[in-house]
Structure 1
Amino acid sequence: MLARTVHTLPEGPHWRYEPKWDGYRALAGREGAVSLTSRSGRPLQSAFRDVAAALESALPEGTAVDGEIVRWSPQGRLDFAALQRRGHAGPQAARRLARSEPCHYIVFDLLRADGAEVVAAALDERRARLEELMRRSTQPALMLGWQTSAPGVARQWYDQMWRVGVEGLVVKDGRGRYRPGRRDWLKYKRRVTTEAIVGGVIGAPAKPRELIVGRRDSQTGALRVVGRTGELEPGRRGEVGALLRPSAGDHPWPERLPSRWGSAQEYARVVPEVVVEITPDAATASGRWRHRVGYVRARPDRQPADVPPDLAIEG
């Protein structure tokens, strides 16, 4: 079951609110052997053998659940880069990483119990049965996902949990059934504004279509690529383009973008002196924002030295 984006938080007696975890969505079940699969059906047992072992111990025969595999860093933040390492590791590396970078499985829905499908039951009924199931579990790698019916509590989560990488809230109708593939859930994503330095553009510097933005590394001082905006509205391209100067060649970034920014492609490097206000979300990986950042406005009143380092939101 999937979610669609909303821009206001719905309120009412039937709404249930949950944190939107930044991890690998995974279905787990036990019909003889334990299965752990991605949303696309890819088997995940060998990559996340610690999670699979916990499920083997905790799930009764004939049970299926929905949840999210997450990795908490030693600093208490969700670490998506570690998940990617785990997800792409070979058998030997997977065994090593299961010890050095253990993961958790956050369970938030019950799909089958005692061999019978429960997807047609209301969410509130499925949740009550899931809570009973999780009360019997002693596995620290398995966590019951948080849920509240109180909008005030949900807003507190929304206002505070982005600091540890929670992307926002998922909002569900307590009366609703589980309908695979349907976007009947809602997602209310956290957006904050911060600043970054423009180091390159897609298109002409005078009227860029997209901005490639950077931050100073707090350890080395080097300017690193940390994000890429979506396509700028035509009326806003001149606003920032009027402030940009093409680089004369002395630039800290390569001539082509790395493949992780979409595809290895040429772009125009500019003198990294213009600060822009952006809206990243909480999802990060390998020292960069995983999703496109939103462009808010140019900040000619700010200097590059005023911009927070790394991926800090506040200076």
Structure 2
Amino acid sequence: MRLRSPIEPMLAKAVADFPPGRPGAWRYEPKFDGFRGLALVDSDRGVHLQSRRGARLTDTFPEIVWAVFEHIPARTVLDGEIVRWAAGQLDFSALHRRNIAGRRRAASLATSEPCHYAVFDVLKLRGRDVTGLPLHERRALLEGLFTTIPSAGVLALGLQTTDEAEARTWYETLAVAGVEGLVIKPTRSTYEVGARGWLKLKRRTSMDAVVGGFVGSPLRPSGLILGRYDDAGRLRVVGRTTQLAAQAAAEVAPLLTPARAGHPWPETLPPGWASSPYGGSGPITYTQVQPNLVVEVLVDSALDGGRRHRHAVRYLRPRIDLDPASVVESCEAAG
């Protein structure tokens, strides 16, 4: 039997709150800020590691491939999250460094910045297709598989609970470590390839940011480029907003002042600097404005390098009552 890649994983849709249901109806898992990864072990024990979109990750994370080869039986497919823990924090920047490293450098980083594979589901086990089993039965199989795997190794059994109170504690307390929120799954759900049958509840908080530029037209900006001052008084780019609604664009456009000479940012921004996906085709073009407008935005906990928000943030309202110089990032945020 030779397992074929790519496999389209099951996905989750965003929700704003915990879903209703009787006790035990849902299973809750921390939503780690990492790379989704499926591990396939062939009948000849060949290991293939793929991303959510089917890209080959086998050479990118050799320590995970080796751990899967050593501990996972042939003709098995696992689903999980590739993460890097450093000093009690999830470090997405390390994953990015690994992603752009060549094969030789990836092998070196596997020693200096080792990653882990947090496994939360099983699709095939020793040649048996188990996607049609309910989640609680697949979880039992997965827990049985991990009884012989060292707890301090590269492979980790993902956390899961049926206790909503415990899940709410995770939701409130794990954000400081870079956990984005929760993935919530029906206990009796099967694994539906490509379907959005799970739920994701992200923990979001509001923060103030200084507008340093925009994309779109001056009369109808489609997004704002945001910054915060560091302890040295430098305005640092921290992200960009999602697409502005018509009402929000009309509200903020009159408050934007054309930039004068000496703007603190370059005329174009490198890919990834403003909540844009890594691997973009070129610099981010935008229109600079005087950094004299503060806005309130809604953010999640996914940070790049401890400062920039990796996901686009949601615009809430202007804060014309605030002095931009007072919008200073904390030492923890600065990294």
TM-score relative to the length of structure 1: 0.92
Per-residue Cα deviation, 1:65-84 (whole angstroms, up to 9, x for no partner): 1101001123x211111101
2:59 aligns with 46
Written as runs of structure 1 = structure 2, the 5 A alignment for 1:220-239 is 220-239=232-251
Moved more, 157-166 or 279-288: 279-288
Q: Which SS does the other structure have where 2:259 is aligned?
A: coil
Gap regions ≥5 residues in structure 1: none
Code of the aligned partner of 1:40: R
2:303 equivalent among 284, 295, 300: 284
Q: CA deviation at 1:266?
A: 3.8
Structure 1 residues 313, 96: closer, same or farther in 2, change over 3 A?
Answer: closer
**Does the CA contact (< 8 Å) of 1:27 and 1:66 recur in 2?**
yes
2:322 equivalent among 295, 302, 311: 302
1:266 and 1:280 map into 2 onto residues whose CA distance is: 23
Query: For the aligned residues, what is the CA RMSD?
Result: 2.1
Code of the aligned partner of 1:22: D
Moved more, 29-38 or 262-271: 262-271
Aligned length: 312
Q: CA deviation at 1:265?
A: 4.9
2:7 aligns with none
**Does the CA contact (< 8 Å) of 1:194 and 1:277 recur in 2?**
yes
Per-residue Cα deviation, 1:146-200 (whole angstroms, up to 9, x for no partner): 1111111111111121221111111111111111111111111111101111111
Q: CA deviation at 1:311?
A: 8.8
**Does the CA contact (< 8 Å) of 1:215 and 1:310 recur in 2?**
no
Written as runs of structure 1 = structure 2, the 5 A alignment for 1:204-243 is 204-205=217-218, 208-218=221-231, 220-243=232-255
Percent of aligned pairs sharing the same letter? 46
2:216 and 2:56 map into 1 onto residues whose CA distance is: 41
2:37 aligns with 26
Code of the aligned partner of 2:299: P
Moved more, 193-202 or 38-47: 38-47
2:215 aligns with 202
2:98 and 2:271 map into 1 onto residues whose CA distance is: 20
Moved more, 259-268 or 289-298: 259-268
**Does the CA contact (< 8 Å) of 1:51 and 1:103 recur in 2?**
yes
Code of the aligned partner of 2:302: A
The reply on whether 1:274 has 2:293 as its aligned counterpart is yes
Q: CA deviation at 1:20?
A: 0.9
2:204 and 2:154 map into 1 onto residues whose CA distance is: 30
2:158 and 2:326 map into 1 onto residues whose CA distance is: 38
2:192 aligns with 179
Gap regions ≥5 residues in structure 2: 1-9, 277-281
